[in-house]
Every structure is written in structure tokens, then in C-alpha cells.
Structure 1
Amino acid sequence: MEQADPARAAAVARELRVTLGQLLRRLRAQSEGGDLTKSQSSVLGRLERDGPTTATALARAEGVRQQSMATIVAALLEAGLVAGSADPNDGRKTILDLTDEAREQFRTGRLAKEDWLTTAITASLSPAELEQLAGSIDLLRRLAGS
């Protein structure tokens, strides 16, 4: 495969970073997570993606101290977004998982984001531009996986 021009790649990278940042902010605004901090939202997202786990494993994965994770988890437990249960293999450990309420918030948040994006695409892009955008998804997916 032919190598891309480094100067052009750097210019595209800058524009892509800025544009994706703007798009992500717009998407987040469509389903605000209430009063959740970024850390709390990140933990909820990790539990949704990776499944039930311990606070220790969450702290390691999020790159925070166990004491900091304990504070985050306590707030999520109090908000009813996370529930804990005894680890069947080691009763001293607690396995944390999303509650049904948290799962519903993720579902409705996703729907709100997709609805907004669908409306924006329909209102802003021509059929040809829609196809251009669709073609770029595979390229973005490859970049995300590299």
C-alpha cells in the first residue's frame, strides 16, 4: 500500500480531531447524564462494555487509586445506577454491575443521539454526501482499530 504524505496526513489529523471533538460534544449534549462526573460516566460505560467486575479491576482499568474508585462507586450505588453482589468465587469481593435503570438510561441516551444525528444528516447532507459519509465509516473504523 502506498504511504500517505506525512504533511497532508498531519493537516487532516488536526482537522479530524477538531471536527470529531465538536461532533462528540453535540452528541453528548443530546443525552446529558444528569449530574454525573466524567469519571462516573466513564465507569458506567466501562461496566456496560466490559460487564460486571470489581472496584479494584475498575480502578486499574480507569487508572485511578482504589480510594478514588471507592468514592465513584459509592456515588453510583447511591444514584441507583450500579449494584453490588458477592463474588461467588470469593465472598470477600463485591462484583459491580449496571442496574436496569442505568441500562435504560444508556438505551434512551443512544436513541436520542441517533435521532439527533439522523435529523442532522437528513437536513444537512445531499444524497451524494450521505454516500460519501457512509463510505468514510469504514475508514474511521480502521483508524479506531489501529
Structure 2
Amino acid sequence: MPPSASDTVMATAAALRVVLGKLKRRLREETGSRGLSGSQVAVLGHLEREGSKTVTELAELEGVRQQSMGATVASLETAGLLKGAPHPTDGRRTILSLTPKARAWIKASRAAREDWLFHTIQIRLSPAEQKRLAAAVELLQRLVEP
């Protein structure tokens, strides 16, 4: 009995999850996190995409306890990647933002990942496969858009 359409979609979903996980790990291996933990990289990413946040807001975004996020933030401040400023309406809270050093780190890390992808695509895929990949990227974008 041939697989149903839903069986095919389920198999595609499982394969996509696996391959995207491998791609994410490979990008991390190729470019390295340059001494930062996954949690630290995630915090930098949130602040770069969404702007300044408090420790509480970052903890909620990452689904961790405020104390755990406090330790992550403290290490990033010590490394010179985050700076704090008093909250404009609540002096007990601190608003965290990226330093120029953090922005440079993010830019260099992103460039390294894109460079690895560019060269890998050129080397491993034929021109026809590169076109198919470009079309697949458009489909993947539709999956993640609201």
C-alpha cells in the first residue's frame, strides 16, 4: 500500500527537523561561538533583533529562571558585550543593551556562517541544485512567517 499524503508530509517534517538540526550544529562547528555558550549567544541574538530588555524579559524569552539569566547577563557584561542603564520608569530595574563590541561580534559571526554556507553551496551543489535550493528557501520562509 503506497504511503498517504499525510504519511509523506509527516516523513518530510521529521526529515526537515533532523536536517535543520544538523545544519545548525554544522554552522556552529564551522564558525564557532568564539568562547560563548549557547545561552549567551541567544541573549545577544534577542537584544540584536528586539532591542534593549531587562533580565526578567530575557529570562521569559529564554524560558529560564531570572537568577540563571542574571548569571548569563553578568558574564556578558564582564566580557564587555552588554551594558546596563537605569530603567526609565523603574529605577530598581536595569535595561540591557549591546555594546559596540557585541555588535562587531555578531556581524563577524554572521559573516563567517554566511561565508561557509556560500562556499559549501557552490562546491557541493550543481547550478540546477542551487536553483532548487533557492526555491526551497522561499518555501521555508513561508513556513515561519505568521
Same fold (TM over 0.5): yes
Q: Give the superposed CA RMSD.
A: 1.5
Alpha-carbon distance between aligned partners in 2 of 1:75 and 1:58, rounded to the nearest angstrom: 14
The answer on whether the counterparts of 1:30 and 1:109 sit within 8 Å (CA) in structure 2 is no
State the partner residue of 1:96.
Answer: 96
Question: Whole-Å Cα distance in 2 between the matches of residues 116 and 53 of structure 1?
Answer: 31
TM score, norm. by length of structure 1 = 0.91
1:59-74 equivalences in 2 (<5 Å): 59-74=59-74
Q: CA deviation at 1:44?
A: 1.2
2:55 maps to: 55
Aligned to 2:25: 25
Segments of 5+ residues of structure 1 without an aligned counterpart are none
Matches within 5 A, 1:1-146: 5-145=5-145
Query: Which has the larger displacement, 105-114 or 21-30?
Result: 21-30
* Matched residue type, 2:107: R
Paired with 1:60 and 1:127, the residues of 2 have a C-alpha distance of 44
* Seq. identity, %: 49
Separation (CA, whole Å) in 1 of partners of 2:126 and 2:65: 49
The TM-score, its normalising length taken from structure 2, stands at 0.91
Aligned residues: 143
Which amino acid is the alignment partner of residue 25 of structure 2? R
CA distance, structure 1, for counterparts of residue 13 and residue 108 of structure 2: 32
Unaligned runs of 5+ in 2: none
Instruction: Compute the displacement of 1:104 (Å).
Output: 0.6
Cα distance, 1:89 vs. partner? Answer: 2.4
